[in-house]
Structure 1
């Protein structure tokens, strides 16, 4: 079998699995309906704080992050999370793409695993609810580790069990890079005050 034929089969299988879980990919230039997202959020967010109508998903990460800023601010205020930290996590996790799906199965803006999303009571495929789940989970991890941002980020990436068993950032290269990179973004967003 030629390599492109094999790739077509793999992509077909990925689309089949995504459809089973109701995952819809948003292509560049497509429109995400905030009206639908708000209805599914059952009025949890203030309508006036959200972008109105349909919003085109921009090509650049910086522009995508701006689209989600009103929602991010609302949620961070609700859950007591520094918006600069949540923005750094969202940028690192998905670059502001609501359609992001990792090879491990993490979904959306904040790259929530399906089990984590269920535990948080959010639909990870809904961008507003995904962002809410990520901010809520960040708040939980910050509370668990007494405001220690590095431990909270390590738990967000590798799980609280691993952070607990190592008493801090576990010796997992991916998690160590994750914490380092998100902390660098966090310092950038807050003007280098961290």
Structure 2
């Protein structure tokens, strides 16, 4: 029994060490963030709380480590989880409103915003996309968005466009997201009609779809 407990403690310390190594190697960037989200999501219960038994650790094993192991791991989890929250009540309200108006799950809208602008209403990409949901000026105009830096206007316009993409691709989230990122014209030129054919799209779009789906799954844990 003592050997088993020591083994679990060793595994936990390895987990902590790997976390620090990955963070040192990747730095504060989306790749580390997504990796930690996936790892920590696997040890989170249905209520969004950490279930340490999924790491193979009992509470007494954590206590034996002698340096507040549970608190340390919880802090890591909270740091990662907070990175996908808007932290802005105006954004939350705009998402709620757009979700009801266009019939799109608010978790998906939030996931798109997270990936597009990381909740920065004044974000501008190198290509000229603007605001929370990164609308190109021409697209914003077509959607009736007069001020792309206005939170409610941008979220409404971006969600409306996402609704159009979902309707175009028979409510396939992956295909709609691919079209949101690359444009439906790109999907048509590359003969992308199914989720499996997304592999024919540029790596940027493939990564975009995977990340947004990952963020949406994380939101649903909340």
TM-score category (smaller protein): 0.5 to 0.7
Q: Of Structure 1 and Structure 2, which has the larger fraction of its residues in helix? A: 2
Q: Root-mean-square deviation (CA), in Å? A: 2.0
Pair 1:183–1:65, CA change in 2 (3 A): farther
Match of 2:204 in 1: 174
Q: TM-score, normalised by structure 1?
A: 0.64
Gaps of 5+ in 1: 1-59
Listed as ranges, the matches of 1:39-78 within 5 Å are 62-78=85-101
Change (3 A) 1:108 1:134: same
For structure 2, list consecutive stretches of 5 or more residues without a partner in the other structure: 1-82
Q: TM-score, normalised by structure 2?
A: 0.56
Measure, in 1, the Cα distance between the counterparts of 2:171 and 2:221: 20
Q: Per-residue deviation at 1:140?
A: 0.5
- Identify the structure with bigger relative contact order (alpha carbons < 8 Å, sequence gap 6+): 2
Which one of the candidate residues 182, 188, 193 is aligned to 2:218?
188
CA distance in 2, matches of 1:95, 1:154: 18
1:60-113 CA-to-partner distances (Å, cap 9, x unmatched) read: 762435441111011110011111100000011111110100011000000000
- For 2:161 and 2:90, the matched residues in 1 are separated by 21
Query: How many pairs were matched up?
Result: 134
Conserved in 2, the CA contact under 8 Å of 1:106 and 1:114?
yes
1:103 paired with 2:126, answer yes
